Amino acid sequence: MDSQTGYCLDPTLCVWPLALDAICDSWWDWHLSTSRLFGSADLLHLYGLASGQTVSVHDLNRLIHPEDALRVQRDRQAHLEGRTPVYYSEHRVQGPEGRWKWILSRGQVLSRDRQGQPLRMVGTDTDLSAQKDAEHQVWQQSHFDTLTLLPNRRMLSDRFTKAMNPHGNSDLQLACLLIDLDHFKEVNDTFGHERGDALLIEAAHRIVRCVRDTDTVARMGGDEFAVLINGLQNTGYLERVLSQLLHVLSDPFYLGADPVFLSASIGVSIYPDHACGADDLLRNADQALYVAKGAGRGRFHYFTPELQQAAQMRVRLGQDLRLALPEQQFFVVYQPIMELATGVIHKAEALIRWQHPTRGLIGPADFIPIAEATGLIVEMGEWVFQQAARQVRAWRTMLHPKFQISVNKSPVQFQKPSSTHTPWMTQLQQLGLGGDSIVVEITEGLLLSNSDGVIDQLLQLSDDGIGVSLDDFGTGYSSLSYLQKFDIDFVKIDQSFVRHLIADSTDLALCKAIIAMAHALDMKVIAEGVETQLQRNLLTAAGCDYAQGYGISKPMLPADFEALMATFK
Ligand code: C2E
Ligand code: MG
Ligand code: MG
**Ligand 1 atom 8: residue of nearest CA:** 351
For residue 115, the CA-to-ligand 1 centroid distance in Å is 94
- CA-nearest residue for atom 46, ligand 1, is 408
Contact residues for 295 (Cβ-Cβ < 8 A; gap 6+) = 301
- CB count within 10 Å of CB 373 equals 12
State residue 120's pLDDT score. 95
pLDDT at 450: 67
Nearest CA to 266 among 315, 301, 227, 294? 301
* Residues 364, 356: Cα–Cα separation, whole Å: 12
CA of 463 to the centre of ligand 2 (A): 22
- Phi, psi angle pair for 85, to nearest 5°: -70, -30
Average pLDDT per 10 consecutive residues for the chain, totaling 569 residues: 40 55 76 91 87 86 94 95 94 88 94 94 92 90 94 92 69 90 87 91 97 95 95 84 94 85 93 86 93 88 85 88 96 98 96 96 93 92 97 97 97 82 94 97 82 85 94 75 81 94 92 93 96 97 97 97 87
Q: What is residue 22's predicted lDDT score, i.e. its pLDDT?
A: 62
Q: Which residues line ligand 1 (CB under 6 A)?
A: 335, 351-352, 363-365, 368, 381, 384, 408-410, 441, 471-472, 495, 528-531, 548-550, 555
The overall pTM is greater than 0.85: no
pLDDT score of 16? 59
351, 528, 535: residue to mutate for ligand 1 pocket, most atoms within 8 A of CB? 351
Residue 448 contacts residue 417 (beta carbons within 8 Å): no
The confidence score (pLDDT) of residue 1 equals 38
- Residues 249-261: tens digit of each pLDDT: 999 998 877 788 8
The atom of ligand 1 lying closest to the CA of 384 is 41
Mutate to test the pocket of ligand 1, among 330, 361, 408, 552 (most ligand atoms within 8 A of CB): 408
Ligand with an atom nearest the CA of residue 362: 1
How many Å lie between the centroid of ligand 1 and the Cα of residue 548?
A: 11
CA of 38 to the centre of ligand 3 (A): 85
Domains of the chain and any CATH numbers: 15-134 (3.30.450.20), 144-303 (3.30.70.270), 321-566 (3.20.20.450)
Cα–Cα nearest to 483, from 432, 534, 535, 442 = 442
56's enclosing H/E stretch is strand 55-56
Q: Which ligand is nearest to the CA of 368?
A: 1
What pLDDT score was predicted for residue 32? 93
Count, residues in the chain: 569
The half-sphere exposure of 298 on its side-chain side, counting CA atoms within 13 A, is 8
Q: 389-431: per-residue pLDDT in tens?
A: 999 999 999 999 999 999 999 999 998 876 778 899 999 999 9
Identify the helix (H) or strand (E) that includes residue 226.
Answer: strand 224-232
Strands (E), 357-475: 360-362, 404-408, 438-443, 467-473
